[in-house]
Amino acid sequence: MYRAQLLAISERIIASATISEEIQYAKQLSDFFAQFNLENDETPLQKKTETIIQGGVALSFAEAAVCLNDYLRAVRFIKGTYFAIEELKEKFPTEKLNILYAGCGPYAPILLPVLSLLNNNDVDVVLLDINECSTISVKELLAKLNFSNYSIEVICSNAITYKQPELKPLHLVVTETMFRALISEPQVSVTANLAPQITEGGLLIPQEIKLSLGYSFFAKEPFLQNDNTVFDVLIEKAPKVYNKQVKVDTLFSMNKCYNFFDAVHYNTFKFESPLYEIPKDFANYPDVCIYTDILIFKNIKLGLAESYITNPYCVASLFNFTNHTHFKLIYTFKEIPNWTYQLK
Ligand SMILES: C[S@@+](CC[C@H](N)C(=O)[O-])C[C@H]1O[C@@H](n2cnc3c(N)ncnc32)[C@H](O)[C@@H]1O
């Protein structure tokens, strides 16, 4: 019964063509997972505890569960993953696809809906999370959803150091361990470790995360707020960029090839932008902002304020830069990822 419910919601998600449909079916998926009431009061503190690792903060069980309510994010990652697997099936017609979902959280919500649409002999899956409560919960869920005839391994491990067995080349890595402007969470370190392990012709989801620099009035930019009605606003109108915002430059685009492996290998754990000239008259755009655009797969994207992870981020006010002519931005991710600036 549960599998049939999941299959029906998954089919609707894949066929969804409007924001309104996407949000409607994401809510159905969220309600679907909620019915399993995976909360266990015996260890509440453990479920609320984040894990701080070298590379960023791994969300707690409870925080990761709530990610499912970031509706467009959930639906578009599911769609992107589904279409990526369809492409891989054509590219590797004689192989069973090895898939790693790094940071699966308590419901593995990006992959379980997709798996319900696939044959059990299409894929060999690893669901991995650093949080043990989450991996226990995923195992319980797999049993309840009757996925026992699929090849699925659930591992409690750190995706920043995980090594895929050589005999099982990775065709697809799915990971969403990020926050806006790639701060706080360890997406960059996870990508630096996993992207180079993807086999030739394989895919990374998201395909590309682009960060760009702009000057703006941060308080006037669209910003998805954490409240129940916020998605109703998205149905009515797409978020509109502040009309006096100035786009300055792309900082970097992270993807399967540009994956920060070198920054880890050479122990710099750092990105430095070029120097930018400080504008003279910035009354209409006093804030130095970073924008996050996510290309999940092909034409499936998340843009400005469509998700909590694509909200704009303010690094500093240009008013702090007086008596200087230039500045550069610096991103470090050895510990908790963060942006700072240097003035010249
Ligand atoms: C933003 S939540 C996303 C949860 C779920 N994938 C979803 O899409 O709703 C990120 C998850 O990644 C896990 N995570 C973060 N860093 C990790 C790491 N280095 N290794 C393994 N899991 C990690 C966290 O524990 C959390 O469950």
DSSP-derived secondary structure for 234-251: HHHS-----TT-EEEEEE
What's the whole-number mean pLDDT along residues 94-114?
97
From the list 255, 193, 6, 17, the residue with the least C-alpha distance to 111 is: 6
As a whole-number percent, the residues of the chain with pLDDT over 90 amount to 89
Span from the CA of 101 to the centroid of ligand 1 (angstroms): 9
Q: Taking the domains of the chain in order of start, what are their residue ranges?
A: 2-208, 210-343
- State the pLDDT at residue 234: 80
**Best probe residue, ligand 1, of 130, 134, 173 (max atoms within 8 Å of C-beta):** 130
Q: How far apart are CA 60 and CA 10, in angstroms?
A: 26
Strands (E), the chain: 51-53, 56-58, 97-102, 123-129, 151-156, 170-175, 198-205, 208-216, 246-255, 270-272, 276-277, 287-297, 300-302, 313-317, 326-332, 338-343
Instruction: Give the pair of three-digit tokens for residue 98.
Output: 């090895």
Is-contact 6 112, C-beta < 8 A? Answer: yes
% pLDDT > 70, the chain: 98
Please report which helix (H) or strand (E) contains residue 132, including its range: helix 132-144
The tokens of 333 are what?
């991710």
Q: Report the SS3 class of residue 206.
A: coil
User: Shortest CA distance to 71 belongs to which of 293, 310, 307?
Assistant: 307
* Residue-wise pLDDT tens digits, 107-166: 999 999 999 999 999 999 999 999 999 999 999 999 999 999 999 999 999 999 999 999
3-state secondary structure of 277: strand
User: What is the atom index within ligand 1 of the atom nearest the CA of 51?
Assistant: 25
Distance 64 CA to ligand 1 centre (A): 7
Q: Could you tell me if 189 and 333 are in contact, meaning their C-beta atoms sit under 8 angstroms apart?
A: yes
Residue found under tokens 């699929």? 150
pLDDT by residue (tens digit) across 168-195? Answer: 999 999 999 999 999 999 999 999 999 9
Shortest-distance Cα residue to atom 2 of ligand 1: 64
**Which CATH architecture best describes the domain 2-208?**
3-Layer(aba) Sandwich (3.40)
Q: Residue 260: which pLDDT band, with cuts at 50, 70 and 90?
A: very high
Q: Could you identify the atom of ligand 1 that is nearest to the CA of residue 309?
A: 1
Among 45-49, 76-80, 90-94, the minimum mean pLDDT is found in 45-49
Interatomic CA distance for residues 38 and 34, integer angstroms: 8
Task: Name the pTM for this structure.
Answer: 0.97
- How far apart, in whole angstroms, are the C-alpha atoms of residue 333 and residue 188? 7
**Distance linking the first and last C-alpha atoms of the chain:** 64
Output the average pLDDT for the chain.
95
- Could you give the count of Cα atoms lying within 13 Å of 311 in the half-sphere of its Cβ? 18
What is the Å distance from ligand 1's center to 103 Cα?
Answer: 3
Q: What is the pLDDT of residue 43?
A: 55
Spatial distance between the Cα atoms of 267 and 273, rounded to a whole number of angstroms: 18
Instruction: Give the pLDDT band (50/70/90) at residue 37.
Output: low
Cβ–Cβ contacts within 10 Å for residue 288, how many?
A: 26
What distance in angstroms lies between residue 271's CA and the mean position of ligand 1's atoms?
Answer: 23
Alpha-carbon Rg for the chain, nearest whole angstrom, is: 20
Q: Which of 99, 163, 109, 164 is nearest to 134 (CA)?
A: 109
Residues having CB closer than 6 A to ligand 1 are 53, 58-59, 64, 67-68, 102-105, 109-110, 128-131, 134, 158-160, 176-177, 186, 190
